[in-house]
Structure 1
């Protein structure tokens, strides 16, 4: 009898490059993964992995087995999705990935309402500003902002993302308010590290499109941390309106150079292509679209005219 139950374990070890990483991904112990692979190799009568103290790699037999095992695993997933589509209520574990700040501010507050509406679903929510490989990480849906790279993933646009240049009133009172983009050169401009152009700010305004090479005392890889230091009056920075909106409404931050616009981006829901979309994924997409899938999402209303 084929060791069908070992196929997901074998594929995880091959994909993650080791027993420990596969064990973390599968929620098993390393010894359980190693034992399962040992049983599979004994059943097949051949070694699937070259093992050393520091790494493992597929043998020739392992390469051949992986090609067929991956197809079998995909077919099993398609079968599961097809059956789940026939059921009334979506069920199962939904693995989500979101950027840190957006997840904290806008996804986490939705979770309770979503789970009350779909009690058969459980959520594993990962918030990280770094790029996450959906297939390798077993992610069902990721929310991503910006320009998406070409890939085999399916992307659904949810809403525009606007950014604004902001500062605290105290900073502007002490350092002056820039009247033109060139005035930014004389100010402490704070930067988000994961931007494609952290220090080069592209602006479109009455004088046309222009680029300003800004400088300052801080570069940080988290937008909420950037917002915190801006609120403390450390300088001028760019923030997406989904972070800045509430602070603009309260007056704790004010727009700088409001007649100039920063490049518009978009928020996407991204998910692996499947023959049958899992009901839990469709339920989440519909839920998110209903709440934020608009040309003018609620955080832009807080930010005022853009």
Structure 2
């Protein structure tokens, strides 16, 4: 590796047909070119060129070394070209993981726009409700929802995430609209069956910080927030779901948010992050994807 410069100059001497021509091509003095070739010959322990006053000729070893140097330079040019492409336009495959429902309702609908903007990028999206090991599983980017992230990873926040309470218009007409958290105890509530809080909800007022703890009743628990929303839209009760799950239904008017001044205190809420391996040089395809998601 220490003789790479000498190898490149030696190859140029042979390709140019002499020391003077190589010196002009390389913008070096003829004596400097001669010194580099002599240094390479000393390193090899044998002559590579037979010199005369008018021409040069390769020795047997020189022929082999020249062929190897040409291959080395060709590889270097390929790497240089790849680096230029890599740094000037996003290309290649991005392997991404995301929580199932977030991937379905928020992330997946945004991918076509990104692919249209960057036609040389492909995406492999895996939806899974666990934190994958980026290195072991060959993942470029993971979408995670948390208040705090584990150390050792780089991350960029994409959007806030919190739980909200929603109900259908018909359910509220029949059973009334709760005016404070304590009134939830007289309603049928639907929540994530695997959540740590289950039927014990701690709600905090967003303005003055008042905390209310309530134990709700439910005949349904579901392990998927999209399914909870479907039950809510079928008038089954008040659903506690991540905001991203219900936002489109709220916009459409098929679901109504209730107790909007109150927020569930739960570690799963906080923010949505794009998580990736730390390093000095973030691949352009990943940087472009994160920027696009932030813009969204």
TM-score with structure 2 setting the length:
0.64
Matched, 1:257 2:262: no
TM-aligned CA distance change 1:193 to 1:278, over 3 Å:
farther
Per the alignment, residue 93 of structure 2 pairs with 93
Measured after TM superposition, the shift of residue 257 of structure 1 is: 2.4
1 CA distance for matches of 2:112 and 2:150?
A: 33
Per the alignment, residue 167 of structure 1 pairs with 167
Stretches of structure 1 that go unaligned for 5 or more consecutive residues are 1-78, 292-306
TM-aligned CA distance change 1:171 to 1:134, over 3 Å:
same
- Does the CA-based 8 Å contact 1:155-1:271 persist in structure 2? yes
Measured after TM superposition, the shift of residue 202 of structure 1 is: 2.0
Measured after TM superposition, the shift of residue 84 of structure 1 is: 6.8
Q: How does 1:49-88 map to 2 (within 5 A)?
A: 83=83, 87-88=87-88
SS of 1:217 mapped into structure 2: strand
Per the alignment, residue 270 of structure 1 pairs with 275
SS of 1:135 mapped into structure 2: coil
Measured after TM superposition, the shift of residue 200 of structure 1 is: 2.3
Measured after TM superposition, the shift of residue 267 of structure 1 is: 1.0
- Post-superposition CA distance 1:243-280 (Å, at most 9, x none): 22222233221222233233461111111223421121
Measured after TM superposition, the shift of residue 135 of structure 1 is: 2.2
TM-score with structure 1 setting the length:
0.63
SS of 1:261 mapped into structure 2: strand
1 CA distance for matches of 2:198 and 2:138?
A: 31
TM-aligned CA distance change 1:84 to 1:243, over 3 Å:
farther
2 CA distance for matches of 1:207 and 1:274?
A: 40
Measured after TM superposition, the shift of residue 155 of structure 1 is: 1.4
Matched, 1:237 2:242: no
Matched, 1:190 2:196: no
TM-aligned CA distance change 1:207 to 1:199, over 3 Å:
same
SS of 2:290 mapped into structure 1: helix
* Structure 1 residue runs of 4 or more that deviate by more than 4 Å after TM superposition: none
Per the alignment, residue 225 of structure 1 pairs with 227
- Post-superposition CA distance 1:203-230 (Å, at most 9, x none): 1236811222223122222111111111
2 CA distance for matches of 1:200 and 1:248?
A: 25
Number of matched pairs = 212
Stretches of structure 2 that go unaligned for 5 or more consecutive residues are 1-78
- Does the CA-based 8 Å contact 1:84-1:90 persist in structure 2? no
Measured after TM superposition, the shift of residue 140 of structure 1 is: 0.6
- Does the CA-based 8 Å contact 2:131-2:144 persist in structure 1? no
Measured after TM superposition, the shift of residue 95 of structure 1 is: 0.2
TM-aligned CA distance change 1:212 to 1:121, over 3 Å:
same
Per the alignment, residue 293 of structure 2 pairs with 288
